[in-house]
A and B are shown apart, each in its own frame.
Chain A
């Protein structure tokens, strides 16, 4: 009996060991075939992104126009938050393993702050012209969106569906109350340079008895300053350079904070969003066109979309907004679509690029649906000619305003390290604005944080 038990145990152990080796064998087999790609991967479109903006665009504007392109294709969204370079790290990992992976990455998104990192790398993204986009397809796009996505050899690595001129979005009812008018032309006159802007902040504060604030928080005006710098964040010797214009942002924000011209919020926080609601007391936001669909539209509604609320004037602060150019031209953000090197679905990716960034009719419907400013000059022209107005901006035609601003966008001062350095700088100086540290300590904290993020840089 005992002997039987023993032999049974031995048998079981042997079976276990065998299955272990069998499992190993299978894995090895997979890896050898992995250098190509699995059938499953060919039927899967893998997309790397950092929020649901593109996913919504894709589902609303590509899926209905896809024809048979998506038949039998499964779409896999891999979303990673962009804060602290988390998205870039995840993407780097996927791109580095692309040759060995059996499940290929097909499409990924990049942002203006680090676009150059992926554009200039020879192995990250494919030249869009090699996968089927032609110069004719791209002819209506803004030149700057193509310039930043073109590498040293002239290959275009990424395409965008939006142009992102910045503007100042302000609350009409508050403008009437304080300045007696909500006409964008009149308000622009009051905000046309920084001195006037500061003066307007004082007026708003005084007339409302401190209840209203010019801006929401510390980071709101940042882009307007950081896009008008004279030098890049990092020079040719990989040394961090703090531009005088960034220092101007520090001075202005400190002044606003101490005098109560902002509400001490941080970008994207709950309090920051509350300022855009019906009961919000913030006068205006430096924002780009994508901001309307991304946060403002939904924050401003009193009856939320989930509760059956509609995007219509009168629902909370919806329609209580208008835009003007503000004190300085700038841009903010912008998302580019890249075809991943090694993708096994290049035809589909090319079709997505064509439909979502080149097709005039699709671009027109994006503007109509999302108030976004699309990267297609012909579409914008036609919309203006058709008399397009935005309901969110209570009937204002913001496209005319923006098409002038879009021509002025200059992205020549961007570098691959922008996102991390911007975040570190804003984070370090939050303490200075809060009054917990002095200027030099904040600067020191910025360098410590920046060098941790980018060990290759020096101060």
Chain B
């Protein structure tokens, strides 16, 4: 009798303490995430902005904000964001995969992997904004990169005339997008390498040994052992990178001084949101945020679904 009550009490009190311990997270989540999320949805249906010092609204306008945002430059900024993200993500995932394979390859026996892991992770420690400002100075019209180019091409005009430049990076679409993508790549490939390495090391080594005994080459073990078993980690990397990419802001903002120059081809969705919120336009800002929320949700769901389905069909064979 005494025994049973004591066990009963134990289980009940554990559960209670469990809830109490996770409560701070939920309280913080409701206050700082869920409530703003709902109020964003709510705000997106109202006309609500400042005209000088006078407040206009809030007046209920239904879906007008969504129509205005979609008819204006939202889709263009979305495309810009995806293009810049893609330009950075492809080299990022390829290089990260290569490094992860090398660092974990038992036969290569690389020396000093700890050192290299630290070095490739380093760009991620520096603030994105300071890297962006650094690149802005490096690639400016008469900055160091242009001077180096002038030396290489032996361009005398550049040294004689201050009005000339070899390549005006910040006046060309490819230049700005390329630099923004490169900074993203530089900052994140180290991080991706570490994650992929963790994934590869989680794969049972006996599988590699078995495939080697069966006479599989390096490429074959990669294709048939590493890649399929790495899929969940790749999925994780893809989704987090995509959501991070959709929120791209600081680098293009600083490279173009907020203008998204040239011709708004490097203006990302969050830069657009920033412009609306700068004029305290909560209605349109809300509409942009809500659309972005659904895009992120749908993209994540699609990626998740596609990778899961393939696995299922394979199991069925």
Contact = CB atoms under 8 A, between A and B. Distances in A.
Interface string B48-74: 011111001000000000000000110
B279 interface: yes
Contacts of A26: none
Given A95-B53, A452-B275, A453-B275, A281 B261 contact: no
A124 interface: yes
Contact of B284 (A86, A416, A455, A456): A455
User: In terms of DSSP, what is the predominant structure of the interface of chain B?
Assistant: loop
A422 to B, nearest CB: 14
A268 B208 CA distance: 61
A367 interface: no
Size class of B's contact patch? 20 to 34
A436 B263 contact: yes
Contacts of A118: 53
A331 to B, nearest CB: 23
Contacts of A378: none
Nearest to B272: A452
Contacts of A454: 51, 279
B309 interface: no
A431 B53 contact: no
Interface in A236-286: 260, 262-265, 270-271, 274-275, 279-282
B263 A270 contact: no
A445 B267 CA distance: 12
A92 B161 contact: no
Contact of A92 (B53, B141, B163, B259): B53
A173 B47 CA distance: 58
Nearest to A216: B163
A189 interface: no
A293 B137 CA distance: 25
B262 A455 contact: no
B117 interface: no
Interface in B260-300: 261-264, 275-276, 278-281, 284
B178 to A, nearest CB: 15
Given A117-B52, A260-B163, A264-B163, A431 B278 contact: no
9 contacts: A84-B258, A260-B163, A262-B163, A263-B162, A271-B141, A271-B162, A280-B162, A434-B262, A452-B72
Given A84-B258, A436-B173, 4 more contacts: A124-B53, A263-B163, A427-B259, A455-B51
Interface of A: 83-86, 89, 92, 95-96, 117-118, 121, 123-124, 210-211, 213, 260, 262-265, 270-271, 274-275, 279-282, 416, 427, 430-431, 434, 436-437, 441, 445, 448-449, 452-456
